């Protein structure tokens, strides 16, 4: 259990202390209409985690009340996911459908209490009669039916005498309730459909609001934990259990924030669309945010559990950066998996002055990993290196092989380039090289200086492997539809070559291919004859740099990196870095990812410290330092950058004081980096001051509302997601200068 208690555990503890419950019973109640995703992992961790922490029990319950969408294959996927994450639901998996008879009896009881009635309005009329947020609803004339008539009609609905939609059963609550959900909610609807468990036994199915609270009650659940969108349903939950006068103890509902992750979609409905449309290769496609997808990609359960623990439990919805999940898997594998050599895009190298064969003893793990094991790396005259580890006309700061710069073969010798062989089109097809016999790794007496070590594979002993490189499924942070799919989310390399031990000894399922990333032997397609590896994650967050890469020369290693043997590898933090990391996370409340970046980079952390001495705003400042400042330092030495920590502090202060938005801050930074001008001067000259005055913002909003009557109507009908649309339009119109907080409030007010 994490040391600081979340609000749900606080509630549970209070309930146990006051004697409200003898035992904590939670449940995880998915609808089996798709594979579970990482959001479900969060819910699983919360429900099973709380039960475990307080010696209670968590039921796995399939909420199978919608026969047309559900299937046993999804039940199996849900069970797999819970099991894989290491949780135990005990002897039975529960199904809401097991309670159909009991739920039906409760419906009869409600009718007899004159608290429910059969309504025969059409779906459309029901919607119309419900009213709006500002206007109360109108009760259906059918609400006056006698108890006998209602009992008779319900029974005949059950017996299949009516068509779908002809009647519904509704609770008789309050058609003018402020909470619209309480305006006589539907309890049962007619569905002549085959159910995957109850077959054709039923032609009426209970609605979520009716089935859920009763299933919780029947199972003796104490804490019914769900996501925030059910907040308004809580009144129905309580009304039903109270009205039915059920014996105590009864369950209570508590809500927490849903997990959202950027660069993907999450709802099962949208994921199903990707599967059905063959945009991905099934539910377990390694690009999917499903638990089966992560599992097949090579994520460990530890990394997922850790992630869920890190993001915590809150009551405010938020978007988590997928980089945080990637950090968790890297962090886990860094200490666990063997490191080997694989070449994805081979370039032939012939070592002119080497004859014969040898085997180089190479450890699988670095010194700071408490694991042993090594293999033999065959070495001979002909080897392959990565194509982009050689450059004929390198830019400044390129540390690998060039016509004039030697390089070390990882674990092996230093080589230098003697000749570049090209084909008729001028493409490099081979390097003729020379090796230095005295330079062998670990026994180097050659005195030759190199700045980097590269991976290589002996041509004679090389094994061919298929490597599947996965990238983010969507190219946009907040994808809106299929048009946002990332066309490069899967790249298959058929003929990568790898050192033989990986295939022959297979000491693990997961490997670090040095300087490339972490890889996993595909659990389905891998065979000894045709090995297949999935890329789990790169060694560092490459996405952050991507936009820059397109304009900059192909690969520029960061000039300050002086760790000779370890270019591209992630090492454990040293003592000093660890101390910084702890200070950042514990004292300054920075998140792990940001803290990790800062702690590992001396220039950055010093810069951060200097700026922090000027302005006490650790979080905003850290964000600018690890993003903007770090990006700049990748291209320019720290002594040559045009801005100072004091100027960055000034920039942060303007953001904190809401003089400018954080979006505009990025724009200002670009100018600071180019010209070394004070941020306040840039803001003044370019007129970038944030607009917070409602008098200026108001007419802009009115204009946008007037231009989008359809969306206004949809919003008022309950599609609250459209709030973001309106806010976005205002920000766009003002070139990002409108204060988002003010805009949000004003838009909400005007759309009410
Ligand atoms: P989806 O929209 O993806 O189908 P759902 O909420 O309909 O999700 P259910 O199968 O009904 O999915 O959910 C089972 C449990 O998982 C519920 O308690 C639900 O609140 C929780 N859950 C679903 N999505 C998330 C999420 N993104 N973050 C946290 N919990 C979630
Ligand atoms: Mg759903």
Q: Which residues of the chain have pLDDT under 50?
A: 1-2, 545-569
Q: Are 80 and 120 in contact (CB under 8 A)?
A: no
Q: Among 258, 387, 653, 666, which one carries the catalytic annotation?
A: 258
Q: Residue 179, Cα to own-chain centre: how many angstroms?
A: 33
Last residue of a domain, one of 145, 172, 207: 207
Q: What is the DSSP letter of 323?
A: H
Q: Are 246 and 215 in contact (CB under 8 A)?
A: no
Same domain, 348 and 432: yes
| CA–CA distance, 669 with 662 (Å, rounded to integer) | 10
Q: What is the pLDDT of residues 71-114, one digit of tens each?
A: 999 999 999 999 999 999 999 999 999 999 999 999 999 999 99
**Model pLDDT, residue 57:** 98
Tokens of 479: 């994808």
How far is the centre of ligand 2, averaged over its atoms, from the C-alpha of 185 (Å)? 18
Same domain, 611 and 641: yes
For the question of residue 631 being annotated catalytic, the response is: no
408 within domain boundaries: yes
Same domain, 438 and 356: yes
Q: How many helices (H) and strands (E) does the chain have?
A: 26, 27
For the question of residue 491 being annotated catalytic, the response is: no
Same domain, 709 and 665: no
Per the structure, the count of domains in the chain is 4
201 within domain boundaries: yes
Same domain, 374 and 445: yes
Last residue of a domain, one of 408, 437, 458: 458
State which of 31, 40, 42, 50 you would mutate to test the pocket of ligand 1, scoring each by most atoms of that ligand within 8 A of its C-beta: 40
371 within domain boundaries: yes
Q: What CATH number has the domain bearing residue 699?
A: 1.10.10.410
126 within domain boundaries: yes
706 within domain boundaries: yes
Q: What CATH number has the domain bearing residue 175?
A: 3.90.800.10
**Model pLDDT, residue 558:** 31
Same domain, 613 and 666: yes
Pairing between β-strand 490-498 and β-strand 339-340 as defined by DSSP bridges: unpaired
* Closest to 538 (Cα-Cα) out of 243, 333, 300: 333
Q: What are the strands of the beta sheet with 453-454, ordered from one edge?
A: 453-454, 407-409, 414-422, 428-435, 346-351, 382-386, 456-458
Tokens of 316: 């405010």
Residues 6+ apart with CB under 8 A from 123: 165
* Closest to 399 (Cα-Cα) out of 558, 603, 600, 632: 558
Same domain, 670 and 725: no
Q: Which residues pair with 591 in a beta bridge?
A: none
Q: Are 220 and 25 in contact (CB under 8 A)?
A: yes
580 within domain boundaries: yes
**Model pLDDT, residue 318:** 73
Nearest ligand to the CA of 43 is: 1
| CA–CA distance, 303 with 328 (Å, rounded to integer) | 5
Q: Residue 367, Cα to own-chain centre: how many angstroms?
A: 32
Residues of the chain by 3-state class (helix, strand, coil), percent to 5: 40, 20, 40
Same domain, 451 and 362: yes
Q: Distance between the two ends of the chain, CA-based, in angstroms?
A: 42
Last residue of a domain, one of 458, 482, 512: 458
Q: Residue 320, Cα to own-chain centre: how many angstroms?
A: 6
* Closest to 182 (Cα-Cα) out of 191, 190, 173: 173
Which residue range forms the structural domain that includes residue 367? 339-458
108 within domain boundaries: no
| CA–CA distance, 166 with 625 (Å, rounded to integer) | 62
Same domain, 651 and 719: no
Tell me the pTM.
Answer: 0.74
Same domain, 660 and 706: no
Residue of the CA atom closest to atom 15 of ligand 1:
30
For the question of residue 258 being annotated catalytic, the response is: yes
| CA–CA distance, 461 with 438 (Å, rounded to integer) | 24
Q: Among 158, 183, 268, 296, which one carries the catalytic annotation?
A: 268
Same domain, 741 and 637: no
443 within domain boundaries: yes
* CA–CA distances in Å: residue 474 to residues 149, 240, 330, 339, 486: 55, 42, 21, 30, 4
Q: Which residue has the tokens 């919805």?
A: 317
State which of 32, 39, 96 you would mutate to test the pocket of ligand 1, scoring each by most atoms of that ligand within 8 A of its C-beta: 39
Please report the beta strands in 126-233, taking only residues with DSSP state E, as ranges in sequence order.
168-171, 186-190, 204-206, 223-227
* CA–CA distances in Å: residue 516 to residues 415, 568, 569: 21, 8, 9
Concatenating the DSSP letter of every residue in 676-744 gives ---HHHHHHHHT---B--HHHHHHHHHHHHHH-HHHHHHHHTT-GGGHHHHHHHHHHHTTT-B-HHHHH
Q: What is the pLDDT of residues 682-691, one digit of tens each?
A: 888 888 888 8
Nearest ligand to the CA of 314 is: 1
Concatenating the DSSP letter of every residue in 473-513 gives SBSSSS--SGGGB-TTSEEEEEEEEE-HHHHHT---SEEEE
Tokens of 210: 């009716």
Same domain, 394 and 422: yes
Q: Which residues pair with 490 in a beta bridge?
A: 470
Q: What CATH number has the domain bearing residue 374?
A: 2.40.240.10
**Model pLDDT, residue 114:** 98
Q: Among 5, 13, 20, 31, which one carries the catalytic annotation?
A: 31
| CA–CA distance, 290 with 77 (Å, rounded to integer) | 10
């Amino acid at each position: 259990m994490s040391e600081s208690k979340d609000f749900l555990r606080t509630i549970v503890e209070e309930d146990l202390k006051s004697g409200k419950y003898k035992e904590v019973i939670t449940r995880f109640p998915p609808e089996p209409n798709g594979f579970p995703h990482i959001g479900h992992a969060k819910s699983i961790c919360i429900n099973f985690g709380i039960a475990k922490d307080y010696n209670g029990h968590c039921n796995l319950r399939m909420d199978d009340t919608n026969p047309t969408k559900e299937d046993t294959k999804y039940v199996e996927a849900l069970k797999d996911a819970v099991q894989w994450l290491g949780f135990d639901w005990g002897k039975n998996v529960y199904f809401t459908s097991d309670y159909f008879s009991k739920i039906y009896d409760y419906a009869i009881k409600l009718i007899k209490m004159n608290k429910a009635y059969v309504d025969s309005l059409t779906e459309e009329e029901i919607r119309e009669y419900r009213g709006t947020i500002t206007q109360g609803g109108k009760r259906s004339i059918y609400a006056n039916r006698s108890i006998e008539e209602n009992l008779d009609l319900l029974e005949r609905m059950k017996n299949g005498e009516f068509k779908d939609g002809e009647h519904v059963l509704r609770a008789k609550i309050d058609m003018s309730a402020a909470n619209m959900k309480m305006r006589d909610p539907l309890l049962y609807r007619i569905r002549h459909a085959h159910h995957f468990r109850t077959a054709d036994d039923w032609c009426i199915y209970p609605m979520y609001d009716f089935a859920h609270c009763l299933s919780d009650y029947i199972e003796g659940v104490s804490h019914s934990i769900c996501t925030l969108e059910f907040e308004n349903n809580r009144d129905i939950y309580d009304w039903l259990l109270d009205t039915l006068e059920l014996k105590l103890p009864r369950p209570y509902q508590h809500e927490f924030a849903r997990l959202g992750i950027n660069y993907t979609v999450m709802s099962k409905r949208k994921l199903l669309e990707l599967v059905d449309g063959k945009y991905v290769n099934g539910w377990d496609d390694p690009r999917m945010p499903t638990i089966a997808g992560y599992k097949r990609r090579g994520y460990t359960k530890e990394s997922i559990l850790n992630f869920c623990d890190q993001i915590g439990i809150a009551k405010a919805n938020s978007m988590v950066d997928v980089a945080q999940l990637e950090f968790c898997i890297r962090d886990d594998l860094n200490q666990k998996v063997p490191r080997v050599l694989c070449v994805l895009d081979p370039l032939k190298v012939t070592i002119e002055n080497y004859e014969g064969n040898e085997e180089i003893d190479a450890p699988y793990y670095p010194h700071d990993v408490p694991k042993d094991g090594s293999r033999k790396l065959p070495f001979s005259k002909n080897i392959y290196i990565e194509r982009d580890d050689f450059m004929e006309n390198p830019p400044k700061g390129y540390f690998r092989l060039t016509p004039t710069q030697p390089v070390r073969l990882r674990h092996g010798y230093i080589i230098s380039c003697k000749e570049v062989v090209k084909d008729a089109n001028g493409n490099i097809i081979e390097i003729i090289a020379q090796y230095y016999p005295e330079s062998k790794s670990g026994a180097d007496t050659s005195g030759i200086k190199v700045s980097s070590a590269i991976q290589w594979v002996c041509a004679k002993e090389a094994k061919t492997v298929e490597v599947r490189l996965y990238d983010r499924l969507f190219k946009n942070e907040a994808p809106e539809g299929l048009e946002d799919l990332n066309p490069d989310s899967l790249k298959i390399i058929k003929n990568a070559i790898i050192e033989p031990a990986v295939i022959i000894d297979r000491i693990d399922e997961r490997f670090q291919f040095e300087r490339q990333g972490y890889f996993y032997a595909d659990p389905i397609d891998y065979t000894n004859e045709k090995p297949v590896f999935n890329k789990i994650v790169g060694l560092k967050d490459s996405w952050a740099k991507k936009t820059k890469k397109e304009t900059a020369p192909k690969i520029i290693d960061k000039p300050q990196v002086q760790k000779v043997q370890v270019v591209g590898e992630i090492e454990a933090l040293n003592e000093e870095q660890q101390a910084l990391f702890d200070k950042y996370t514990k004292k300054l409340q920075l998140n792990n990812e940001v803290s990790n970046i800062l702690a590992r980079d001396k220039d950055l952390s010093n810069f951060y410290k200097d700026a922090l001495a000027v302005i006490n705003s650790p979080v905003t400042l850290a964000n600018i330092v690890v993003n903007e400042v770090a990006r700049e330092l990748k291209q320019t030495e720290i002594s040559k950058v045009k801005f100072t920590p004091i100027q960055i502090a000034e920039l942060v202060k303007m953001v904190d004081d809401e003089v400018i938005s954080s979006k505009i801050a990025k724009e200002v930074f670009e100018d600071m980096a180019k010209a070394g001008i004070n941020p306040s001067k840039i803001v003044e000259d370019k007129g970038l001051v944030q607009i917070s005055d409602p008098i200026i913002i108001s007419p802009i909003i009115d204009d946008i509302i007037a231009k989008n009557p359809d969306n206004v109507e949809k919003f008022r009908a309950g599609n609250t997601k459209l709030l973001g649309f309106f806010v976005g339009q205002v920000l766009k119109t003002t070139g990002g200068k409108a204060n988002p907080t003010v805009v949000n409030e004003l838009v909400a007010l005007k759309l009410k």
